[in-house]
Amino acid sequence: MSDAKRSKPYPPISYSDYLKTSPLLELQKTRSAEFGEEAHEEMLFIIVHQTYELWFRQILHEINSILAMFARDLVREEDMGTVVGRLSRIVEIQRLLVDQVSVLETMTPLDFLDFRNMLYPASGFQSTQWRLIENRLGLKASTRLKYNAQPYHASVSPKEAEVLLKSEKDPSLFDSVDAWLARTPFLQIDGYDFGTEYREAVHAMLSEDKQTVLRFAKSDEDRERGLKQIGDTERVFESLFDADRYKELQDSGTFRLQHKAVQAALLILLYRDQPAFNLPFQLLTRLQDIDELMTTWRYRHALMAHRMLGSKIGTGGSSGHSYLKAATDTHRVFGDFFNLATFLIPRSSLPKLPEALTRRLGFHP
Sign of torsion over alpha carbons 348, 353, 359, 360: negative
Q: Along the chain (365 residues), what's the average pLDDT of each consecutive run of 10 residues?
A: 67 96 97 95 97 98 97 88 97 97 95 93 90 96 84 90 95 97 90 91 91 92 93 87 89 91 96 95 98 94 88 57 78 94 90 90 76
Rounded Cα–Cα distance for residues 172 and 21 (Å)? 34
Rounded Cα–Cα distance for residues 235 and 230 (Å)? 9
Cα 36 vs. chain centroid, distance in angstroms?
43
Residue 90's contacts (CB-CB under 8 Å, 6 or more residues apart) are 59, 62, 63, 286, 290
pLDDT of residue 73: 81
pLDDT of residue 317: 47
pLDDT of residue 318: 52
147 forms beta bridges with 150
Rounded Cα–Cα distance for residues 208 and 240 (Å)? 21
* pLDDT tens by residue, 339-365: 999 899 999 889 999 998 998 888 766
pLDDT of residue 320: 63
Where do the domains of the chain lie, and which CATH numbers do they carry?
31-190+251-361 (1.20.58.480)
Rounded Cα–Cα distance for residues 8 and 181 (Å)? 44
* pLDDT tens by residue, 119-168: 988 888 899 999 999 999 999 998 888 877 788 888 899 999 999 999 99
Provide the H-helix boundaries in the chain.
Answer: 3-6, 15-19, 21-25, 31-34, 42-70, 80-104, 109-113, 128-137, 158-169, 173-182, 194-216, 220-239, 243-251, 259-270, 275-309, 320-330, 335-339, 355-361
